[in-house]
Amino acid sequence: MSGSVVDNTVSSGNSSAAIPTDISGQILDLDEDDDLEVFSKDTTLTDGSSLNASMQTSSASMINQYKFEEEEEDADTKDIFVTVDNPESHVTAIETYITYRVETKTTRSEFDSSEFEVRRRYQDFLWLKGRLEEAHPTLIVHPLPEKFVMKGMVERFNEDFIETRRSALHKFLNKIAEHPIFSSSEDFKIFLTAGSGELTSHKKQGPGFLSRMGETVKAVAAAVRGVRSRPQEFTDMQEYVEAFSQKISSIDKVTQRIVREQKEYLEELKECGPTYALWSQSEEELAEPLKNVAGCVDKCCKETDEQVKHLNDHLIPVLHEYVLCADTLKAVLRRRDNIQADFEAKTEALATKKADRDADSKVLSLAWGSLVGRSPEEVKQQKQQKLKGEIKEMRDELDKTEDRLEWANNALKSDWTRWQKGMRTDLRSAFIDTAERNVSYYEKCLAVWESFLQSQRTDAEGNGNVDFS
């Protein structure tokens, strides 16, 4: 691994350039949706039933190893800083996509250098998220930008869309960098430091298609089987997530509708100013007030435009981000349930096997012994020995699954507290910021119209025509 890595070439033959104002006419590859996202829902079906090589197998060592901080890290103690910026479009004969510069500064000793710079596309971020979920099925991985299902919903690669996506990717990496477990992941380190060729090679080391299909089948089977006795604390979590999901989704939809209506209002308002100005040309007696009204409307248009932009850029992304966080939490709880379902199924299988061992199989032994020419007692002992070995294997596997379930439960409980604190901080900040912006917006619009009223009072008093008191 190189000390300071710069990955400016994504694939041979690509042309890298600053983002053009309009490249919507370029040919897009078949997986273009992988690079057209805003926040992503859970994309893996890992049930956590297979131990990753990087996971500990002893419950004591695993649980004691993972310590979660109750307080957020201060800037003075943070030892890894990640920035996502400088998006570039890449156009080839068969595809058009965007890469982002990922800059890392760190004082950690496990890194070969203190600074790294690489370029990554969305597929790389998606790979990192999947690897973290595979290794830690019940830790909460922050959501990624999601794919737009319908093409044409937004102009492809326009500046606002790209900036929204860049900001989301930046937040994703910084959430990983702040996490006490994810930030120490080897996959995260490779993502931040490896050249494009090295990263591609590392990706190929993951589980194959058949392995992933096997895990998917296990996950579906566990989901169908369900759990018999989920601990109450996880039932409470599930109920909280369902309620949170409904509320945040409703607020997200209403806020988006309000912004759409404000944009329509703004378009109507933009037509008023010129109309008043045009009218003033044919009304000599009202010319001055009409011009003043036109000026006030224009000023309010400017403030309304800023208000809409602020809501669209600051409040809506946060609300939608936590809509997707709710989906992530549901997936994490499902994976926890799948691990418990696996444990319960293995417990039942072991109990059944023990019952077989203890059952009287004398009739079967006599029949089998007469066929092979051996004494019934010899056959019975042989069968009992075989059952004993099978029971030992099943008990060992059950112990490992119990360790995995205990780790999963403790990891989720710790990360749940951490997630709630971060969520409340983010939403509180967004609400306060929106409230302050609303106050500023209405105060400025109020000042504009008060200025108009004051000018009209002054003119009326000068002419002695109207009493405004």
pLDDT digits (tens, 9 = 90+) for 251-274: 999 999 999 999 999 999 999 999
Query: Which of 59-63, 372-376, 393-397 is predicted least confidently?
Result: 59-63
Task: Over range 449-459, report the average pLDDT.
Answer: 88
Q: Is residue 96 part of a domain?
A: no
- Cα(278)–Cα(330) distance, rounded to whole angstroms? 58
Number of domains in the chain: 1
Average pLDDT taken over every residue of the chain: 79
Q: pTM for this one?
A: 0.76
Q: Are 23 and 96 in contact (CB under 8 A)?
A: yes
Report CA 217 to chain centroid distance, whole Å: 24
Q: What is the pLDDT of residue 76?
A: 56
pLDDT at 287 over 80: yes
Q: Who has greater pLDDT, 436 or 71?
A: 436
**Side-by-side strand order, sheet with 96-106:** 15-17, 80-91, 96-106, 115-121
What pLDDT, in 10s, does the model give residues 217-233? 555 555 556 778 899 99
Task: Over range 145-157, report the average pLDDT.
Answer: 56
Sequence-distant (6+) residues with CB within 8 A of 18 are 88, 89
Q: Are 434 and 84 in contact (CB under 8 A)?
A: no
From residue 91, how far is each of 31, 83, 254 by CA, in Å? Answer: 14, 24, 38
- Cα(265)–Cα(311) distance, rounded to whole angstroms? 15
Q: Are 149 and 424 in contact (CB under 8 A)?
A: no
Query: Which of 139-148, 160-169, 197-206, 365-374 is predicted least confidently?
Result: 365-374
- Cα(172)–Cα(451) distance, rounded to whole angstroms? 46
Q: Is residue 4 part of a domain?
A: no
Residue whose C-alpha is closest to residue 396's, from 353, 348, 345, 350: 350
* AA letter at 99: T
- Cα(318)–Cα(298) distance, rounded to whole angstroms? 30
Residue whose C-alpha is closest to residue 230's, from 338, 312, 136: 338
pLDDT at 468 over 70: no
Give the DSSP letter string of 82-133. EEEEEEEEEE-SS-EEEEEEEEEEE--TTSSSSEEEEEEEHHHHHHHHHHHH
Task: Over range 181-195, report the average pLDDT.
Answer: 94
Q: Is residue 163 part of a domain?
A: no
Q: Is residue 219 part of a domain?
A: no
Report CA 281 to chain centroid distance, whole Å: 56
CATH code for the domain of 411: 1.20.1270.60
Task: Over range 324-334, report the average pLDDT.
Answer: 96
Q: What is the pLDDT of residue 466?
A: 53
Q: What is the pLDDT of residue 464?
A: 61
Helix, strand, coil percentages, rounded to 5, for the chain: 65, 10, 30
Residue whose C-alpha is closest to residue 192's, from 165, 174, 168: 174
Q: What is the pLDDT of residue 467?
A: 52
- Cα(164)–Cα(317) distance, rounded to whole angstroms? 8
Q: What is the pLDDT of residue 68?
A: 45
pLDDT at 57 over 90: no
Percent share of the chain, pLDDT over 90: 54
Q: What is the pLDDT of residue 32?
A: 45
pLDDT at 169 over 90: yes
Q: Is residue 404 part of a domain?
A: yes
Residue 84 pLDDT level (bands cut at 50, 70, 90): very high
Residue 31 pLDDT level (bands cut at 50, 70, 90): very low
Q: Is residue 330 part of a domain?
A: yes
pLDDT at 58 over 70: no
List the structure tokens of 229: 């006795």
Sequence-distant (6+) residues with CB within 8 A of 90 are 10, 11, 14, 15, 16, 96, 97, 98, 99
What pLDDT, in 10s, does the model give residues 390-424? 888 999 999 999 999 999 999 999 999 999 999 99
Domain coverage including residue 338: 231-365+375-457
Q: What is the pLDDT of residue 382?
A: 78
What pLDDT, in 10s, does the model give residues 416-446? 999 999 999 999 999 999 999 999 999 999 9
Task: Over range 371-395, report the average pLDDT.
Answer: 76
Residue 12 pLDDT level (bands cut at 50, 70, 90): very low
Residues comprising the chain, all counted: 469
Task: Over range 238-255, report the average pLDDT.
Answer: 97
**Look-up of token digits 């943070």:** 78
Q: Is residue 51 part of a domain?
A: no
pLDDT at 211 over 70: no
Query: Which of 9-13, 203-207, 399-403, 453-457 is predicted least confidently?
Result: 9-13
- Cα(167)–Cα(84) distance, rounded to whole angstroms? 8
Q: What is the pLDDT of residue 352?
A: 86
Query: Which of 34-43, 336-345, 405-414 is predicted least confidently?
Result: 34-43
Task: Over range 38-43, report the average pLDDT.
Answer: 50
Q: Is residue 370 part of a domain?
A: no
